[in-house]
A and B are shown apart, each in its own frame.
Chain A
Amino acid sequence: MPAKRTAAATAAPTVTKSLSSGPKTLTANSSVSDIIHHVWQQYLSTTPQRTMLLDVFMAFLVLVGGIQFVYCVVAGNYPFNAFLSGFCAAVGQFVLTASLRMQTSSPAPKSGKTSSSGKDGKSSGEEGISHERAFADYIFGSLILHFFCINFIN
């Protein structure tokens, strides 16, 4: 899921960039491995560090959620509340992180660079949410999620 998403997200800028700048252009006949390698290189070179950090964290969540689901299938769902809270924590954290990524991966709004304009509600509402505001929302949402999950797992 995150791999696809990142591929889709990065594909559009990659193509336009490669079209504008000469050396790394793909030919129509290039092999699949070439394409993948090219996409990966483009991703590494063009993605901002914070977005990459988000992607790493999302991949980690997919891994944790996948392990928990496989364990449930293999070993049975006996403490079902434990399964629900463990699995839902991973899924919910993934959704929250994906929202954070949507709000921060696009180039930040110009006013968002300075904190003073970030506080200005009207301007941020028109141009999107500032990164700081998005991150604060993310932490708030995550803490609520963790609180519920820990409570539910008893």
Chain B
Amino acid sequence: MRWCLSLLLFGFLAVVHALSSSGSRLLVVLEDADEKDAYSTFWGDLEARGYNLAFESPKSDKLSLFELGERAYDHVLLLPPRSKGFGPSLSPKNLIEFMNKDGNVLLALSGKSTTPSAISSLLLELDLHLSTDRSSIIVDHFNYDTLSADEKHDVLLLQRPGPLRPDTKAFFGGEGVLAFPRTAPHTLGDSNPLLAPILRAPATAYSYNPKEDAGSAEDVVASGSQLALVSAMQARNSARFTLLGSVESLQDKWFSATVKAPGDGKESETANREFAKQLTAWTFKETGVLKVGKIEHHLANDGELNPKIYRIKNETVFSIEISEYSYGKYVPFEVPENDALQLEFTMLSPFHRLDLQPSSKTENSTIYSTQFTVPDQHGIFSFRVNYKRPFLTNIEEKHEVTVRHYAHNEYPRSWKISGGWVWIAGLWSVIGGFLAFVIVWLYSAPTSTASTTKKTQ
């Protein structure tokens, strides 16, 4: 009965939590209620994936990210405000605090209006830099949409991004072309290693302020692939922040637009809808979330599981179970091709740093394991798995064990070492010689005393 009840409860929770691994409460900050209709497909997609959307105006009094010190929402989606900023409840400090409590933020900008300085200062805190006038848009005379922006060249057509590096997974890849109308570009600082660009501008793009006259193109701040259209930051607690340069790309109009590249390109549908799904899925922790299952270590020739103590030079096996959350279910985690999941056996510094190899697979997890010899050094060691990669949540596991030296009776006996036989023979021949000497000495006593007495006499 109780079983049934808990099962029912579990099913209920599963429905509530839906696709995201960290909750379904999504706050959408939207200034104009009229604008809401322009994104109806986008909202529909999010709701279909199980999110409970709460639309709030930034000016609303009851809007608060926190309730009784806890997060009131799991995720926040910020659309660009018309006015000077988001207001007191969405100050940069509050948003950072929200992320410190594991909340995820998706911030969309627009090139149509000047970005408020409050947002700019929030981005500066994350080492994302907007252009100084905060109203530039990105322009490219080679990759624009000829159908909608034949004159202004401000609707960029881009391929879907591949993997960031050869050793990362492509969470945003796929077929099709993306349209980014009137994008506010940003550049990535180099003092925040947690930043990762998702989509960079093509080499021929540059930043341009439409409010100034044409001459401004001569002194551009950044150009080409220095400019990023979409970037992500994953904090140390794995909270995610995504900056999207063009909020218009989420509109219904661009989800199903037909675009045509300059030259003799043919007309094609945009893949914006698919990309928006990937982007929100990643930001709201539907993809790229790693979970550690069982961690086991033991002696190679069987023995107790996860013992507290090892001896130096023991042959040891370590295994860790890792699953990856991907659109509503856990699947076996596979390390990208050029990457390695590593185990460190450390005391202050690693004595071993070994690649973990997949040894077996269950329905929704992969078990990685390795075997090694405990170093010839006793002390307090720890098994550490420290796996931090862009777009994947951080794994940091640390399990302490004691490594003792040989006990007195664990050394091999002397005769087991053939190199020492000569010395053993030497010792025993000394003892044997001593015994023989003593016997001969005792037997020779009477004559010797006799002879000495004779001589003295």
CA distance A61 to B431 in the complex (A): 10
Report yes or no: A86 in contact with B426, Cβ–Cβ below 8 A.
Answer: yes
Bits for B43-73, please: 1 = Cβ < 8 Å to A, else 0: 0000000000000000000000000000000
Rounded to whole angstroms, the CA-CA distance of A64 and B433 in the bound complex is 10
In the complex, how many residue pairs between chain A and chain B have their CB atoms under 8 Å apart? 100
Once bound together, how far apart are the Cα atoms of A57 and B430, in whole Å? 10
Nearest chain A CB to B20's CB is how many angstroms away?
63
Q: Name the residue on B nearest A142 (C-beta).
A: B434
Taken together as a complex, chains A and B put the C-alpha atoms of A93 and B433 apart, in Å, by 10
SS of A interface (majority)? helix
Q: Is the CB of A67 within 8 A of B427?
A: no
Is B453 part of the binding interface, using a Cβ–Cβ cutoff of 8 Å?
yes
Chain B residue numbers with a CB within 8 Å of A142 are: 434
B residues 379-434 near A (Cβ < 8 Å) are 411, 413-414, 417, 419-420, 422-427, 429-431, 433-434
Instruction: Verify if A76 is at the interface (C-beta below 8 Å from B).
Output: yes
**In angstroms, how far is the closest chain B Cβ from the Cβ of A56?**
8
Q: Is B132 an interface residue (CB 8 A)?
A: no
B447 close to chain A: CB less than 8 A = yes
Task: Report the interface size class on chain B.
Answer: 20 to 34
The answer to whether A93 and B417 touch across the interface, beta carbons within 8 angstroms, is: no
In the bound complex, do residue A49 and residue B447 qualify as a contact, i.e. CB atoms below 8 Å apart?
Answer: yes
Say yes or no: is A139 at the interface (Cβ < 8 Å to chain B).
yes
* Residue B349 at the chain A interface, CB threshold 8 Å: no
A129 close to B (CB within 8 Å): no
Determine the chain B residues whose CB is within 8 A of the CB of A65 once the complex forms: 426
Known: A75-B422, A82-B419. 4 other contacts (CB 8 A): A50-B444, A71-B422, A86-B425, A107-B455
- Residues of A with Cβ closer than 8 Å to B? 48-50, 53, 57, 60-61, 64-65, 67-68, 71-72, 75-76, 78-79, 81-83, 85-87, 89-90, 93, 97, 107-108, 113, 135, 139, 142, 146, 149-150, 153-154
Residues of chain B touching chain A, judged by Cβ–Cβ distance below 8 Å, are 411, 413-414, 417, 419-420, 422-427, 429-431, 433-434, 437-438, 440-441, 444-445, 447-449, 451-453, 455-456
